[in-house]
Structures are given as C-alpha cells and as structure tokens.
Amino acid sequence: MARKALKLASWTSMALAASGIYLYSNKYLDPNDFGAVRVGRAVATTAVISYDYLTSLRSVPYGSEEYLQLRSKIHDLFMSFDDTPLGAASLAQVHKAVLRDGRTVAVKVQHPKVQAQSSKDILLMEVLVLAVKQLFPEFEFMWLVDEAKKNLPLELDFLNEGRNAEKVAQMLKHFDFLKVPRIYWELSTKRVLLMEFVDGGQVNDRDYMERNKIDVNEISRHLGKMYSEMIFVNGFVHCDPHPGNVLVRKHPGTGKAEIILLDHGLYQVLTEEFRLDYCHLWQSLIWTDMKRVQEYSQRLGAGDLYPLFACMLTARSWDSVNRGISQAPVTATEDTEIRNNAANYLPQISQLLNHVPRQMLLIFKTNDLLRGIEAALGTRASASSFLNMSRCCIRALAEHKKKNTCSFLRRTQISCSEAFSLWQISLHELMLRVKGLRLPSWAVALLCWLFPAPH
C-alpha cells in the first residue's frame, strides 16, 4: 500500500506539473480554465485511477474482464465483433459489433478492477488531499473528494448511463440536429452497455467538417442551443462534452448537419433555486446589469469574490464584463492579460470553488470543455451564442412565473412579456447581421436608434 501511495503521489505531482505547463501554453486560458478547475480535474482523475490499475491495463490488449468472460458467447450474440476498441478511456472502452439480426452496435465494456478499486482509490485520494492541505493551507481541495464520492458510483453504473441517454433524448427531441444513440436494454448490464452504432467526426475536427461540407458556425450554434436548453430550461446537464463524446456528421437521409451526443454517465441535476439564480446571473452578464451581477453571484456563493466569479463564468476579463461580454469577442490582448495574471488568482479560485454550491463545480467543468471546442472551431464567445442563452433564460424565468400563479390574467401578462422580450432579441440579432453587411454608418445608426438592445 505504501508503495502504491508513493507511485500515486508521483503521478499526482506530474499531473499538477502538466496542468501548470498547460496553464502558460494555452492561449485560450482565463481564470475559469486554469488553476483549481484544471488542476483539480487532473488530481481527481489521477487519484481515482490508481497506478497499479493503469499499468495492468496496458498489459491487456483488447479489453476487460467482462469482455474475456463473454468471449465464448460472442459467436452466439454477434455476427461479428471487432477485437480492437474504437476508443478507450479510464473507466471503459468501446467495440464495434454486428448483432445476429444485422444491427450494427457499439459495445461499451467496463475495465476490470474499476468497481473493486474505486472505494480504495477515493480513500487514497482523500489522504492525498489532506496532505496537500497540510502543506498548502490556502488551497482547499476537499470538494474533489466529495464530488468523487458522489459521481464515481453513478459513472460506474452503465444502466444509469442508459437511463440518462433516454431522458436527454426525450428532453431535447425538438432539436432535429441532435442524435442520441438508442440503448439496447435486453443486452445491457451495469458493466456492459449496448447501443446503436453512429459514426462521425469529433466536434473539434475542422478538417473533417471541411471535407464533409459541415458549417462550423452552424455546429457551434447548435451546441450552444443544446447546452443552454439543458442548463437554463431543464436543469439536467451532460457534464462531459469533450470532443470524443460529441461527434458531428451529415445525416445520411437529409444531408443536414447533426450532433451525436455520447457518454451519458455524468449528469448534473440542478435545483430549481440554483437554475433560476443562474438564469438571472447570465441575463445580468449579457445585458451588463452590474448591480444584479453582484447580487446573483453572491446568491450563488461567490461573496466578495463576485468579480472573479463573473470572470470564471464568462472567460472574460473584468473590464470586458463591465463593458459588456456580448459587445465584442475576445481579443489576443485580453487573452494575454488573463494568462499573465492567472497564477495570482489560484488561492482565491481555490477558496471560491470551496464555497459555491456543489452543482456549480460540474457547470464550471462543462463550460471549460465547451470553450475548448469553441476555441478549436474559432467560434468562441460570438454574440449569437449569448443571445441564444438569453432566449433560454427568458423562457425559463417566464415558465417559473407562470407555474407559480393561478391568475389567468397574470399568466397572459407573463406570456406577452416573454414574447416581447424574445422579439426584441430577434431584432437585436437582426441588427448584428445588418452591421455585418457594411451599410452606410447613418443607416446603421438609424436602425440602432429604432431597435435598441433589450434589457
């Protein structure tokens, strides 16, 4: 055990060092992307998967214990089964197969020892976090242990993943651009999940999109709409949108661009109070209502660190937040400013992450991953993405008000106000497009006067 702890500690040190290198090399970093968020994710990942397991996994060429147990039955279940996995991650790997009835499926198989080792690894992580606390009292990482204890058992239950997949597919069924692979329950267990096989390129692969004539701006807009709907309207959020879990393709029937959402093991369920406060906060950030930015940041646990909190959420400098995040995209100068000042905020970020609601932690992670995708596509922080977020916030807040009134007249007033606010946003979006047409300055000024931005 001592030897394992020593090896794990060395891996943790490497993870911390790697995060530090990333901090100063990634030009898209900001107070949300660096520090405790990324460092914490590195520490958590390292601690959950022990050194002993990592080395033993390398000696297994094609998969897991479950796969080996099923190997003798593969001929009965499948017409064909690819030994080489399509992809492998820390908890599982995925194989392509064809069932006897001709359906092509993806078979997700959990790695051996993960179930047995998980509780031991969390205990070891807790010991390491307490040791870090003794060496560096200003850093608070106990929230990592709490999150691991809560989330890891859910991620290890593939039946829970299947239920999440079906729930989000039903929840977002009005988005014709979203594809969630169908689950085959009759062949799934807690450690083996069979689903419809859907192929595509990773969402950050611009070359794939160019080859397949997929519009990167359209994909970025769709991704923003999808996650705004999850966060602000439904409060049920897929929290692992890294490029391997978000694919894109041209739909074989319609030829339209389609997003394929995979790996539904990690979701965050937002309480209604949190979701509504978060809606109010983003509305305030988008329309530069700084008094309400302070109010709702503090309601979400930021305290006196609300300026840092706002910067972490928006990935913008405090000056840009004050000027209006929807007014101008991120500049190279702003990126440099954030990167140069990043290390100065590490203790405050640690303190902030220890005080915000636990729900916020996975939201931060999700924001971080989505920004990485936007950065790769070159569509980061466009004004249209903020307007889509605002639409979802307006709808969510109006729905809450209507749900809490019995008066028909009041419900009608709320619906009219909602429709008017959405109309204003559509006009503002039209104005942004008009400005891009390079009309004479007097014409643009006149239109701006006639149709001011909503507040």
136 by DSSP, 3-state: which? coil
Query: 361, 274 in Cβ contact below 8 A?
Result: no
Alpha-carbon dihedral angle through residues 165, 169, 172, 178, given to the nearest 10 degrees: 100
Helix axes 383-403, 408-435, angle to 10 degrees: 180
Do the Cβ atoms of 266 and 155 come closer than 8 Å? yes
Surface-to-core class of residue 73, CB atoms within 10 Å of its CB (0-12 exposed, 13-18 middle, 19+ buried): exposed
Tokens representing residue 197 in the block? 């096989």
- Quote the CA–CA distance of 379 and 75 in Å, as a whole number: 47
Could you write out the three-class secondary structure of 389-416?
Answer: HHHHHHHHHHHHHHHCCCCHHHHHHHHH
Start-to-end CA distance of the chain, whole Å, equals 59
Q: In whole angstroms, give the CA distance from residue 333 to residue 315.
A: 14
Token digits of residue 349 = 């970020």
> Residues with catalytic annotation?
240
* Residue 429 CB-density burial (10 A; 0-12 exposed, 13-18 middle, 19+ buried): middle
Neighbour tally for 376: CB within 10 Å:
17
Q: Please name which of 66, 100, 103 lies closest in space to residue 85, comparing C-alpha atoms.
A: 66
Side chain identity, residue 231? I
